[in-house]
Amino acid sequence: MSASTFGVRHPSLEPGRLGDLELANRLAVSPMTRVSATPDGTPTREMADYYTELARGGFGLVITEGTYTDTLYSQGYLNQPGIVSEAQVAAWREITGRVHAAGAPIVLQLMHAGALSQGSHYREDTAGPSAVPPLGEKMPEYGGHGRWATPREMNPADIEEAVRGFVSSAVNAREAGFDGVEVHGANGYLLDQFLTDYTNRRDDSYGGPIANRVRLAAEVVAAIRAEVGPSFRVGIRLSQTKVNDFTYRWPGSAHDAGVIFTALADAGATYLHIASEGRDWIETAKLEGGVTITGLARRVSGLPVIANGGMHEPEQAAQVLADGHADILSVGRWALANPDLPRRLAEGEALEDFDHLMLQPMATLDNTRRWREAGARAGV
């Protein structure tokens, strides 16, 4: 694929902003699970090299992989990084220093897996909003196999512990030098499990209508905001689809979306990151009335919005920005194939296609390195 086929300067290369955070361009690295930390969740030098390469490639913003927030139920994968120990904070501090030196801001994604935990350093059981077994099977590329376990229904004390984990991890992220945090409320993990009608069957104030189901996500954002103050950036990632359910849509569509976006803006979010509407993004992101989900988020919340999913096509990505559907684009596999994507777009250089073999047999940094070395030996 050639970047020059777009014909003019790509709009993603224009400067962007997330609140008061100025970005050199409107291309962000999407959070991507890489399961390459040590067994106790400490980030590695290999991870530092990975994030630094993306910063040097010219991305306006780097968002990290989902990072677990407590030593109870939050970890989702073996070799997933955490932000709960002094050693983890110190290792992340090295990464933020290198990314900043390479010229990019970096935001840490805070993740609680809930029922979709398929590997933990701390325990074998899982917890979620209700005792409902997740759909589908665990993901082999992240070290899982077989059906998901049925989670234990979280009681009020469990919920309070989860919120405290998000808050303390945000404080640790600020100490580690991050420019902000992004709360993971998407893709079927804990906060999304509370948002989703078929995984949340509670009859208390966290269940039932959408105004109740969004409560936990809003409480997490508000609690972080109260602790870190007004200047630290606190974004949140949302999605309708999930890693174990690619077809789900919010039942109330535009109405439910409006309730969710308003609640999170009122809670103090800096930005909204709306993820995964598929390859034909312009069509699949539409709600009734023709408005896209990100366009609605911008209008209802008044916040900057990051769009994710299907942004690997330069023409579609340009249209998302030019037509006002979003403020920033986050790219995942496009960034893996082209860690210097912004430079390539600016110079009209050919873009590499993503090869899923980069993530086989697991989505580790080591396997990606081996894939690149094999290509180099083959002269590809």
Backbone angles phi and psi of 267, in degrees to 5: -75, -15
| Terminal-to-terminal C-alpha distance of the chain | 15
Backbone angles phi and psi of 144, in degrees to 5: -105, 165
**Which tokens is 299 given?**
């209008």
Q: Which of 352, 354, 341, 348 minimizes the C-alpha distance to 104?
A: 341
Q: How far is CA 121 from the centre of its chain?
A: 22
Sign of CA dihedral 136, 69, 272, 302: positive
**Which tokens is 322 given?**
């030019």
State the angle between helix axes of 254-267 and 215-228 in degrees (0 to 180), rounded to the nearest 10: 20
Catalytic-residue membership of 189: yes
A 10 A CB-CB count for 315 gives 11
Pick the catalytic residue: 50, 51, 68, 189?
189
Close Cβ partners of 181 (under 8 Å, ≥ 6 residues apart): 107, 108, 109, 110, 169, 170, 173, 174, 224, 232, 233, 234, 235
CB distance 11 to 322 below 8 Å: yes
Query: How far is 379 from 58, CA to CA, in rounded Å?
Result: 26
CB distance 115 to 127 below 8 Å: yes
CB distance 31 to 184 below 8 Å: yes
Catalytic amino acids? Answer: 189
